[in-house]
Structure 1
């Protein structure tokens, strides 16, 4: 007896089958990408070339405070080989994001991206000081930090911050502000008295109005002297760098998009920025002609030289990690300062050493930041000069907290401000 089994097949729809498989493939791929955002840690071959370049490794002299050690910790946590604990997270969060390691890495490990992504994934597990949270919240608002500094200038809150710093070891003058003339000089268009060569816009960011006002004013003055009209757009927001490096990647992306939308509306041929940290962030935006203000001024001076007074006193030059390792404008500061006749530049004996500011790291880990700053300041001979040039606002604010201990008369200035101070002009301030 033969048993006959019959199968009834439905008509095969190849299009549906393909779409269904493709949909499942996309879901699996998306899941893999989400799970493997830290997969680039596998690029690290643990050679150890990064160790001598890392400021926190030099400070702590422990493997877990090095790029190689942090990569190993990120791998172990991501692969669930070790439990997430505050000590492991602290070692990773100590990173300043200076990216010295990336400049020496033979395997091209994207260390900065890995640190940012890890902080983003484990943001809720890392405790931040209340002041950091407040700054990040305010910086995300248009003109938010200026409003915050206006509040902080009130005597009652100053005393509370002073009291809080007693318990948290916050460096003094963490939020140094320069409120002078802010109402009379900020947003608007400043026309050149010379034959107009074009119009540029200035990106001042979230803190420029409050703490980098002098650089804005001096850049406008020099650009006007070179024949450029200067537009300073209203309602500028943070570039997003602080949020990106503090585990808030979505907020950073939102701020970048807001700035891009606003800057795209400008009629100017180019957008100029002051802070290398802001510039590195803004360069991620597409369809915007963005340029370092120092580069633009230097190129303009080569075509139309201005007269600068001869300088006999040397000046000390600090170059930020974002300038050296993100923008990689190796000789820009020295070339700009060399426009001044007779200039003598005092350089650091350890130029790659981070000053410890690290964006908000001077607030997150003030003892670490101050220890690194002391090492940085000691690398200069500051008895020869009363002028200290710093190209990044975050570094400048941090340096101001301790530099008078080496020379009580010293001034910290942006290179553009120092250039403006030496410019010979009938309209000079």
Structure 2
């Protein structure tokens, strides 16, 4: 989006204010500059050269989670997500990227190094490390996982953090898809979705990663590209819109359930809905549909699901205070419900929430919906 297009997009905002009560940062600060319409007006002025892309402007844009809750209520359907991406790209033109973000983007471009780090962290936990994210076992991915009597084929996006920290979710997805009759392809040349780079304002880096994934998945024609992390899925949908799907959406519409054997689970599960699933992918309720495939399982939504948990990609690195304030709301909401599991479809949300519960001294089982489903279908870790 060039500046002319950006000015045109920001000009579509009529400053009606319907977005204000849905914006997490505005609700916390009550500052117009930290609201969607305030940020849109500032971005328009910067694009027009009326205001400079200075530190003060950057502070208000950096405080934005890009949760896109504002988009869901905007009467003019302003694409706030793209406005925010372009605003941060303009900021990078005048200000260097913060050191923490530079390190994160550098690391995300090196999936093998991330997997190595994940392996070291898993080993450290075995020797007594109590802090840091829990790491599942890692897998050597095959190019293809054929299903018996296959009725269809899909491609699987691995992601960066998920592949390094939570490969169990990826393996669970393959297991469930195979049992439903879908052959799963895993291109080895895929890489980071580019989401963190876009959020950091690194347009060049993001475009390079996007091009790499477009090439990696092109060999599979028009097959659906499934993502188990809604944050990655939201970014993939920006440049592979006809193919990218969240695993929950796909499974909620998939065939083959008549052949699947799902064991009952007399338990209660609370569903946290990531902003990227709810707002960016417009897939509200898809996790619940998948979980209801498990007999005897009671499924309830976490109160306040419309508000971001504060995970939001690199937000936990750049805005830890606000990220923790928003997470505290989620923890308080969860504490009002007695349950056995907390599920969420985004690795960033899961890690952020797990850190909060750990600090609060609470042992909460947090997992992806597909992991719980796979276990009830007989998954024991082998694919």
In the superposition, the TM-score normalised over structure 1's length comes to 0.79
Asked whether the 8 Å contact 1:391–1:414 carries over to 2, the reply is yes
The equivalent of 2:161 in structure 1 is 207
The equivalent of 2:16 in structure 1 is 47
Q: Secondary structure at the match of 2:156?
A: strand
Alpha-carbon separation, structure 1, partners of 2:253 and 2:9: 39
Aligned equivalent of 1:276, options 206, 223, 230: 230
Q: Deviations over 1:41-63 (max 9, x none)?
A: 22222211111000011111211
Q: CA deviation at 1:139?
A: 1.6
Q: Over the residues paired in the alignment, what is the CA RMSD in angstroms?
A: 2.9
Aligned equivalent of 1:122, options 78, 91, 95: 91
Match status 1:178 vs 2:147: no
Q: Secondary structure at the match of 1:48?
A: coil
The equivalent of 1:189 in structure 2 is 144
Q: Secondary structure at the match of 1:384?
A: coil
After superposing the two structures, state which structure 1 stretch, 125-134 or 251-260, moved more.
125-134
Alpha-carbon separation, structure 1, partners of 2:273 and 2:297: 17
Aligned equivalent of 1:330, options 241, 261, 284: 284
Alpha-carbon separation, structure 2, partners of 1:209 and 1:146: 7
Q: CA deviation at 1:376?
A: 2.0
Alignment length, in residue pairs? 378
The equivalent of 1:25 in structure 2 is none
Alpha-carbon separation, structure 2, partners of 1:224 and 1:145: 27
Structure 1 residues 303 and 61, CA gap change in structure 2 (3 angstroms): same
Q: Deviations over 1:4-49 (max 9, x none)?
A: xxxxxxxxxxxxxxxxxxxxxxxxxx9xx54553332222222111
Q: CA deviation at 1:116?
A: 0.6
Q: Deviations over 1:136-192 (max 9, x none)?
A: 11222453532454577798xxxxxx9xxxxxxxxx63xx36263x2x542433333
Structure 1 residues 423 and 382, CA gap change in structure 2 (3 angstroms): farther
The equivalent of 1:368 in structure 2 is 322
Q: Deviations over 1:273-311 (max 9, x none)?
A: 112222222223359633322233333356535222222
Aligned equivalent of 2:249, options 285, 295, 301: 295
Q: Deviations over 1:196-223 (max 9, x none)?
A: 3343321112223212201111111112
Q: Secondary structure at the match of 1:346?
A: strand
Alpha-carbon separation, structure 2, partners of 1:284 and 1:61: 31
Aligned equivalent of 1:62, options 26, 31, 34: 31
Alpha-carbon separation, structure 2, partners of 1:418 and 1:333: 11
In the superposition, the TM-score normalised over structure 2's length comes to 0.88
Q: Which runs of 5+ in 2 are unaligned?
A: none
Match status 1:413 vs 2:367: yes
Match status 1:350 vs 2:319: no
Q: Secondary structure at the match of 2:154?
A: strand
Match status 1:223 vs 2:177: yes
Alpha-carbon separation, structure 2, partners of 1:337 and 1:153: 28
Q: CA deviation at 1:416?
A: 0.4
Alpha-carbon separation, structure 2, partners of 1:389 and 1:240: 25
Q: CA deviation at 1:253?
A: 1.8
Structure 1 residues 179 and 342, CA gap change in structure 2 (3 angstroms): closer
Q: CA deviation at 1:124?
A: 4.7
